[in-house]
Protein backbone atom coordinates (compact mmCIF):
# COMPACT_ATOMS: atom_id res chain seq x y z
CA UNK A 1 0.00 0.00 0.00
CA UNK A 2 1.10 3.57 -0.68
CA UNK A 3 2.08 5.65 2.31
CA UNK A 4 -0.31 8.42 3.26
CA UNK A 5 1.22 11.88 3.68
CA UNK A 6 0.03 15.20 5.03
CA UNK A 7 2.41 18.09 4.35
CA UNK A 8 1.85 21.53 5.83
CA UNK A 9 3.24 24.45 3.80
CA UNK A 10 3.77 27.41 6.12
CA UNK A 11 4.87 29.68 3.25
CA UNK A 12 6.25 33.04 4.52
CA UNK A 13 4.88 32.75 8.03
CA UNK A 14 6.35 32.29 11.54
CA UNK A 15 9.57 33.65 12.97
CA UNK A 16 11.90 30.98 14.40
CA UNK A 17 10.46 31.50 17.88
CA UNK A 18 6.88 31.35 16.61
CA UNK A 19 7.68 28.27 14.52
CA UNK A 20 9.16 26.40 17.48
CA UNK A 21 6.23 27.35 19.71
CA UNK A 22 3.73 26.09 17.16
CA UNK A 23 5.64 22.89 16.51
CA UNK A 24 5.73 22.29 20.25
CA UNK A 25 2.00 22.91 20.58
CA UNK A 26 0.97 20.37 17.95
CA UNK A 27 3.53 17.58 18.22
CA UNK A 28 1.76 15.79 21.07
CA UNK A 29 -1.42 15.64 18.96
CA UNK A 30 0.37 14.28 15.88
CA UNK A 31 1.98 11.17 17.28
CA UNK A 32 1.53 8.61 14.53
CA UNK A 33 3.87 6.57 12.39
CA UNK A 34 1.05 5.47 10.06
CA UNK A 35 1.08 8.69 8.03
CA UNK A 36 4.09 10.71 6.88
CA UNK A 37 3.72 14.20 8.34
CA UNK A 38 5.92 16.96 6.94
CA UNK A 39 6.13 20.66 7.79
CA UNK A 40 7.45 22.90 4.99
CA UNK A 41 9.15 25.56 7.07
CA UNK A 42 10.81 28.90 6.15
CA UNK A 43 14.59 28.55 5.83
CA UNK A 44 15.32 30.63 8.95
CA UNK A 45 13.31 28.24 11.13
CA UNK A 46 14.25 24.89 9.58
CA UNK A 47 16.96 23.94 12.04
CA UNK A 48 15.05 25.10 15.11
CA UNK A 49 11.87 23.26 14.12
CA UNK A 50 13.82 20.13 13.17
CA UNK A 51 15.39 20.09 16.62
CA UNK A 52 12.06 20.72 18.31
CA UNK A 53 10.52 17.75 16.48
CA UNK A 54 13.41 15.38 17.13
CA UNK A 55 12.09 12.08 18.44
CA UNK A 56 8.65 12.57 16.87
CA UNK A 57 7.20 11.22 13.63
CA UNK A 58 7.05 14.70 12.07
CA UNK A 59 9.64 15.68 9.43
CA UNK A 60 10.53 19.04 7.95
CA UNK A 61 10.97 20.25 4.39
CA UNK A 62 12.47 23.29 2.73
CA UNK A 63 10.03 25.29 0.62
CA UNK A 64 12.47 25.52 -2.30
CA UNK A 65 16.07 24.76 -3.28
CA UNK A 66 18.51 25.73 -6.02
CA UNK A 67 19.86 23.18 -8.46
CA UNK A 68 23.45 24.44 -8.29
CA UNK A 69 25.85 23.51 -5.49
CA UNK A 70 27.11 27.05 -4.99
CA UNK A 71 27.66 30.29 -6.87
CA UNK A 72 26.51 33.84 -7.41
CA UNK A 73 22.83 33.22 -6.65
CA UNK A 74 22.04 35.82 -4.02
CA UNK A 75 19.27 34.75 -1.68
CA UNK A 76 19.22 31.11 -2.82
CA UNK A 77 19.80 27.93 -0.81
CA UNK A 78 21.42 24.84 -2.31
CA UNK A 79 20.41 21.25 -1.83
CA UNK A 80 23.85 20.57 -0.37
CA UNK A 81 23.09 23.10 2.37
CA UNK A 82 19.81 21.34 3.17
CA UNK A 83 21.52 17.95 3.30
CA UNK A 84 24.18 19.36 5.64
CA UNK A 85 21.35 20.49 7.95
CA UNK A 86 19.75 17.06 7.89
CA UNK A 87 16.61 18.21 6.04
CA UNK A 88 14.93 15.21 4.34
CA UNK A 89 12.42 16.88 1.98
CA UNK A 90 12.28 19.79 -0.46
CA UNK A 91 9.13 21.33 -1.91
CA UNK A 92 9.73 21.90 -5.63
CA UNK A 93 7.72 23.74 -8.29
CA UNK A 94 5.03 25.23 -6.06
CA UNK A 95 2.65 27.38 -8.11
CA UNK A 96 3.68 30.51 -6.20
CA UNK A 97 7.29 29.87 -7.19
CA UNK A 98 6.19 29.41 -10.79
CA UNK A 99 3.95 32.48 -10.73
CA UNK A 100 6.05 35.00 -8.80
CA UNK A 101 9.63 33.84 -9.37
CA UNK A 102 9.61 32.64 -12.97
CA UNK A 103 10.00 28.96 -12.11
CA UNK A 104 9.80 26.94 -15.32
CA UNK A 105 9.35 23.27 -16.20
CA UNK A 106 13.08 23.21 -17.01
CA UNK A 107 14.21 24.59 -13.64
CA UNK A 108 11.75 22.34 -11.82
CA UNK A 109 13.28 19.33 -13.57
CA UNK A 110 16.80 20.46 -12.65
CA UNK A 111 15.76 20.78 -9.01
CA UNK A 112 14.04 17.39 -8.95
CA UNK A 113 17.09 15.70 -10.44
CA UNK A 114 19.46 17.48 -8.06
CA UNK A 115 17.35 16.67 -5.02
CA UNK A 116 17.27 12.98 -5.93
CA UNK A 117 21.02 12.94 -6.57
CA UNK A 118 21.58 14.31 -3.07
CA UNK A 119 19.15 11.92 -1.38
CA UNK A 120 16.53 14.59 -0.76
CA UNK A 121 12.90 13.61 -1.29
CA UNK A 122 11.15 16.04 -3.66
CA UNK A 123 7.54 17.06 -3.11
CA UNK A 124 6.79 18.04 -6.70
CA UNK A 125 3.88 20.40 -7.35
CA UNK A 126 1.82 20.49 -10.54
CA UNK A 127 -1.50 22.16 -11.32
CA UNK A 128 -3.55 24.41 -13.56
CA UNK A 129 -4.88 27.96 -13.34
CA UNK A 130 -8.58 28.80 -13.44
CA UNK A 131 -8.19 30.09 -16.99
CA UNK A 132 -6.58 26.81 -18.07
CA UNK A 133 -9.35 24.79 -16.44
CA UNK A 134 -11.98 26.89 -18.22
CA UNK A 135 -10.20 26.21 -21.51
CA UNK A 136 -10.39 22.49 -20.68
CA UNK A 137 -6.63 21.99 -20.99
CA UNK A 138 -6.11 20.70 -17.44
CA UNK A 139 -5.06 17.21 -18.49
CA UNK A 140 -2.76 18.50 -21.20
CA UNK A 141 -1.06 20.80 -18.71
CA UNK A 142 -0.74 18.10 -16.05
CA UNK A 143 0.81 15.74 -18.57
CA UNK A 144 3.27 18.40 -19.70
CA UNK A 145 4.28 19.48 -16.19
CA UNK A 146 4.62 15.91 -14.90
CA UNK A 147 6.61 14.62 -17.86
CA UNK A 148 8.91 17.65 -17.95
CA UNK A 149 9.52 17.59 -14.19
CA UNK A 150 10.40 13.89 -14.29
CA UNK A 151 12.53 14.00 -17.45
CA UNK A 152 15.57 11.79 -16.87
CA UNK A 153 14.18 10.39 -13.61
CA UNK A 154 14.37 6.61 -13.43
CA UNK A 155 11.56 4.29 -12.35
CA UNK A 156 13.56 3.54 -9.22
CA UNK A 157 13.96 7.22 -8.35
CA UNK A 158 10.39 8.26 -9.11
CA UNK A 159 9.31 6.13 -6.14
CA UNK A 160 11.15 8.67 -3.97
CA UNK A 161 9.11 11.55 -5.41
CA UNK A 162 5.84 12.76 -3.91
CA UNK A 163 3.59 14.56 -6.41
CA UNK A 164 1.18 17.22 -5.21
CA UNK A 165 -1.69 18.22 -7.47
CA UNK A 166 -2.52 21.81 -6.57
CA UNK A 167 -5.08 23.61 -8.75
CA UNK A 168 -3.93 27.22 -8.60
CA UNK A 169 -7.53 28.45 -8.47
CA UNK A 170 -8.03 26.63 -5.16
CA UNK A 171 -4.89 27.78 -3.34
CA UNK A 172 -5.59 30.25 -0.55
CA UNK A 173 -8.95 31.14 -2.07
CA UNK A 174 -11.22 29.06 0.12
CA UNK A 175 -12.43 27.38 -3.08
CA UNK A 176 -11.83 23.65 -2.92
CA UNK A 177 -11.78 21.28 -5.86
CA UNK A 178 -14.64 18.86 -5.45
CA UNK A 179 -13.61 15.35 -4.41
CA UNK A 180 -14.39 14.23 -7.99
CA UNK A 181 -12.32 17.03 -9.57
CA UNK A 182 -9.40 16.29 -7.27
CA UNK A 183 -9.67 12.53 -7.77
CA UNK A 184 -9.94 12.85 -11.55
CA UNK A 185 -6.79 14.98 -11.70
CA UNK A 186 -4.78 12.73 -9.37
CA UNK A 187 -5.93 9.64 -11.27
CA UNK A 188 -4.89 11.30 -14.52
CA UNK A 189 -1.42 12.06 -13.10
CA UNK A 190 -1.12 8.42 -12.06
CA UNK A 191 -2.05 7.46 -15.62
CA UNK A 192 0.72 9.71 -16.95
CA UNK A 193 3.15 7.91 -14.65
CA UNK A 194 1.89 4.55 -15.87
CA UNK A 195 2.58 5.55 -19.48
CA UNK A 196 6.00 6.97 -18.62
CA UNK A 197 7.07 4.05 -16.45
CA UNK A 198 4.60 1.19 -15.89
CA UNK A 199 1.35 0.56 -14.04
CA UNK A 200 3.09 -1.10 -11.10
CA UNK A 201 5.46 1.83 -10.60
CA UNK A 202 2.63 4.36 -10.93
CA UNK A 203 0.59 2.50 -8.33
CA UNK A 204 3.37 3.04 -5.76
CA UNK A 205 3.83 6.81 -6.13
CA UNK A 206 2.27 9.01 -3.43
CA UNK A 207 0.03 11.70 -4.94
CA UNK A 208 -1.38 14.50 -2.78
CA UNK A 209 -4.12 17.07 -3.29
CA UNK A 210 -3.47 20.69 -2.31
CA UNK A 211 -5.86 23.62 -2.37
CA UNK A 212 -7.79 25.02 0.62
CA UNK A 213 -7.63 21.69 2.48
CA UNK A 214 -8.82 21.93 6.08
CA UNK A 215 -10.15 19.78 8.90
CA UNK A 216 -13.68 19.89 7.47
CA UNK A 217 -12.98 18.60 3.95
CA UNK A 218 -9.82 16.54 4.42
CA UNK A 219 -11.45 13.20 5.20
CA UNK A 220 -13.57 13.18 2.03
CA UNK A 221 -10.68 14.32 -0.16
CA UNK A 222 -8.18 11.88 1.33
CA UNK A 223 -10.68 9.06 1.01
CA UNK A 224 -10.51 9.13 -2.79
CA UNK A 225 -8.74 6.14 -4.40
CA UNK A 226 -5.89 8.11 -5.98
CA UNK A 227 -5.44 10.80 -3.33
CA UNK A 228 -2.87 9.78 -0.75
CA UNK A 229 -3.09 12.84 1.49
CA UNK A 230 -2.71 16.56 1.17
CA UNK A 231 -0.46 19.57 0.77
CA UNK A 232 -2.05 21.93 3.28
CA UNK A 233 -1.57 25.70 3.31
CA UNK A 234 -3.36 28.01 5.75
CA UNK A 235 -4.83 25.18 7.79
CA UNK A 236 -1.32 23.95 8.62
CA UNK A 237 -0.81 27.10 10.69
CA UNK A 238 -3.71 26.27 13.00
CA UNK A 239 -4.04 23.80 15.89
CA UNK A 240 -6.67 21.96 13.83
CA UNK A 241 -3.86 20.79 11.54
CA UNK A 242 -3.76 17.77 13.85
CA UNK A 243 -7.30 16.95 12.73
CA UNK A 244 -6.25 17.17 9.08
CA UNK A 245 -3.48 14.68 9.82
CA UNK A 246 -5.95 12.35 11.51
CA UNK A 247 -8.09 12.49 8.38
CA UNK A 248 -5.10 11.14 6.46
CA UNK A 249 -4.65 8.07 8.65
CA UNK A 250 -5.07 4.87 6.65
CA UNK A 251 -8.48 3.31 7.18
Asked if pLDDT for residue 247 goes beyond 80, the answer is yes
Angle separating helix axes 138-149 and 105-118, nearest 10 degrees: 40
Q: Which domain holds residue 238?
A: 4-247
- Could you tell me the CA-to-CA distances from 141 to 48, 133, 175 in Å, in that order? 38, 9, 20
H helix and E strand count, the chain: 12, 8
Other CB atoms within 10 A of residue 52 CB: 19
Q: Per residue in 172-207, is it b (16+ CB within 10 Å) or e — as a string?
A: eeeebbebebbbbbbebbbbbbeebbeeebbeebbb
Domain count, the chain: 1
> Residue 28 pLDDT > 80, yes or no?
yes
CA 211, 138, 65, 96 dihedral sign is negative
Q: Is the pTM of this model over 0.85?
A: yes
Residue 130 has pLDDT above 90, yes or no: no
Active site residues: 94, 166
- The percent of residues above 70 in pLDDT, for the chain, comes to 100
Cβ pair 155, 138 in contact under 8 A: no
Q: Which CATH number do you get for residue 173?
A: 3.20.20.70
Mean of all residue pLDDT scores within the chain: 94
**What is the model's pLDDT at position 154?**
98
Tens digits of per-residue pLDDT, 41-77?
A: 999 999 999 999 999 999 999 999 999 999 999 999 9
Q: What is the pLDDT of residues 143-199, one digit of tens each?
A: 999 999 999 999 999 999 999 999 887 777 777 788 999 999 999 999 999 999 999
Amino acid sequence: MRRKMVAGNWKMNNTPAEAVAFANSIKANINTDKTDVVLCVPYVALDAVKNELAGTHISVAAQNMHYEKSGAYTGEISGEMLVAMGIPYALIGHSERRQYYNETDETVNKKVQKALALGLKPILCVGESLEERKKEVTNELLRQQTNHALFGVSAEDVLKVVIAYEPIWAIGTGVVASPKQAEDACAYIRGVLAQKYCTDTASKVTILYGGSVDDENAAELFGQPNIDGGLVGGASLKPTFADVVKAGLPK
